[in-house]
Amino acid sequence: MKHRFSKIIALLMALCMFATVFTGCGNTSTDTTGGTVDVNAPTATPTTVPGGDNTEDVTGDATATPTATPTTAPGGDDTEDVTGDATATPTTAPTAAPTPTTKPTAKPTATPTTAPTATPAPSVQDDQIVATYIYGGYDRLTEADLKKLDIIYIAFGLIDEDTFEMTFRRENRLQGLTELRKKDPDTKLVLSIGGWGADGFSQMAKKPENRATFIASVMSFLDKHNLDGVDIDWEYPVTGGDIEHASNDKTNFTKLLQELRAALDERTASDGGKMLLTIAAAADSNYWEESINVPKCIQYLDYINLMTYDFAGSWSYETGHHTNLSAPSSGNGWWTPANAQSSVKYAMDAGVPAEKIILGAAAYGKEFSGVKSSSNNGLNQEYTGGCEDIDLNDIMDLIGKNGYVRYWDSKANAPYLFNGSTLISYDDAESIGLKAKYIVDKGLAGIMYWDYAGDSEESIIINTARDYFDQH
């Protein structure tokens, strides 16, 4: 039972929060990096900074027009205002929190201090998931991170295009991961099969005997390594991506998931519970219209990992955000206005329940070089030097160095770095905190990110998301 004094303190805190709302908090990022600037702040007279130390007044460029005008995708106006708590989210990497001895217990969803533009339904997901894909860097997983993760997706199994059996090239490196998991048996280890450019799905799924061979090899692998389920990362049925595809992939995908579910239900997970079946899904609306039969498939799936990243990259004609939560003022230079909130809407409109959606984040950035103009602080500008991926850990080391200034786009709810010629779009503690808030407000299943090895030494993504979920 709570003491009367605690109730008084809670009342005083609520009054303080009420007062804060009416004094205008929320839209301007806290400058703790020595160079953070809100690019959507109202136009004001520039303030001269003594010594010119890595901080700029960029308000004059906030309305800069992109070199090329992107086309607008449907659903772009359906984003929600989640910036009400932005000032509560740290802009610098949090220090690692003490490792909990057990997973957090279920808790009610906290009411946000400011109402979003569109009021979400009450959360039906009380204990949000933190998940990661791990690709090769198995020996880098720490016990502290393990105990804050609910699902670890082991990437990637592949399909032998001759035999249709599942193959896994790093099998000899799995033992260390499965041994570490013994320190926290509640963490699920799930085999992820596929990935970008991984062929063989269409050929395997089209015949019952091929599916049976594939599923038998998968179940044998799970049994051998005491794993807890399967994640299918088929990129993509019907539309292809970069692999062979066919018009009947959509039907065969349903059959594959149905048969995988049946085989998994004959087994139990390492903790004695249900074996998981998940998929990785594209973030655009076409996926739900063309690649998957949601009403039929959703009954077989525990979660859908929504790949809300790579909104911009080497294919873009201009620089842009690649994993932004909300719609940016301008496009992402390819597919406009790409953002995580619209991607969630596409999935839910197709019939995916909120409690089965795991939102994607990125432990890597997109580094655009040879940016042709400093207008809008390099955002939405043409570039000539290409675009490469860069780990979040390396990005954090660049802030305040080599002329890099961190900018915060309060429209997109996303940070970026710019030094006059190179722009880096990425996720950090502030953007992850707002994604976590959106997940709780919307009642989504949780957050996942690609991939574990790219996160900072302070495990920004895991710690920020886990801490927010524990507190709300």
Q: How far apart are CA 80 and CA 353, in angstroms?
A: 18
d(CA 307, CA 321): 14
Percentage of residues of the chain with pLDDT beyond 90: 68
Report residue 175 as tokens: 């033992």
Q: What is the mean pLDDT of residues 144-166?
A: 97
Matching residue, tokens 């088929």: 234
The answer to whether 122 and 443 are in contact (CB under 8 A) is yes
What's the angle, vertex CA 310, arms to CA 305 and CA 311, rounded to 5? 105
Which range, of 18-22, 128-132, 309-313, averages the lowest pLDDT? Answer: 18-22
**Strand ranges for 234-372 from DSSP E:** 276-281, 303-306, 357-362, 364-369
Q: Quick one: average pLDDT of 196-221? A: 98
The first and second tokens of residue 120, run together, are 């979400």
* Residues forming the active site: 235
Q: At what angle do helices 429-442 and 460-471 cross, to 10 degrees?
A: 40
Could you check whether the bond before residue 156 is cis, i.e. omega within 30 degrees of 0? yes
User: Which pair of tokens denotes residue 160?
Assistant: 């032998």
- Predicted confidence at residue 454, as pLDDT, reads 96
pLDDT at 296 over 80: yes
Q: Would strands 446-450 and 129-134 be described as parallel, antiparallel, or unpaired?
A: parallel
Of 46-55, 170-179, 335-344, the least confident: 46-55
Higher pLDDT, 63 or 438: 438
Q: Tell me the pairing of strands 414-418 and 422-425.
A: antiparallel
pLDDT score for 95: 37
Kind and range of the H or E element at 303?
strand 303-306
Tens-place pLDDT, residues 60-103: 333 333 333 333 333 333 444 454 443 333 333 333 333 333 44
- So what's the pLDDT on residue 241? 87
- Give the pLDDT of residue 424: 98
> Across the strands, what pairs with 194?
233
Q: List, for residues 378-387, the tens digit of each pLDDT value.
A: 999 999 999 9
Q: What is the mean pLDDT of the chain?
A: 81
Q: Calculate mean pLDDT across residues 252-266.
A: 98
Assigned token pair, 6: 């605690």
| Helix ranges (DSSP H) in 350-428 | 392-398
Pairing of strands 129-134, 414-418: unpaired
User: What's the CA gap between 200 and 161, in Å, rounded?
Assistant: 5
Instruction: Give all domains of the chain, ordered by start, each with its CATH number.
Output: 99-364+429-471 (3.20.20.80)
Dist CA 280 CA 360 (whole Å): 10
| Residue 436 binned pLDDT confidence (cut-offs 50, 70, 90) | very high
What confidence category does residue 39 fall into, taking pLDDT thresholds of 50, 70 and 90?
Answer: low
Q: What is the predicted pLDDT for the residue at 442?
A: 98
β-bridge mates for residue 422, sequence order: 369
In degrees and rounded to multiples of 5, residue 371 shows phi and psi of: -65, 130
**3-class secondary-structure state, position 250:** helix
Average confidence (pLDDT) over 225-238: 98
Q: Minimum mean pLDDT among 17-26, 280-289, 299-308, 417-426: which range?
A: 17-26
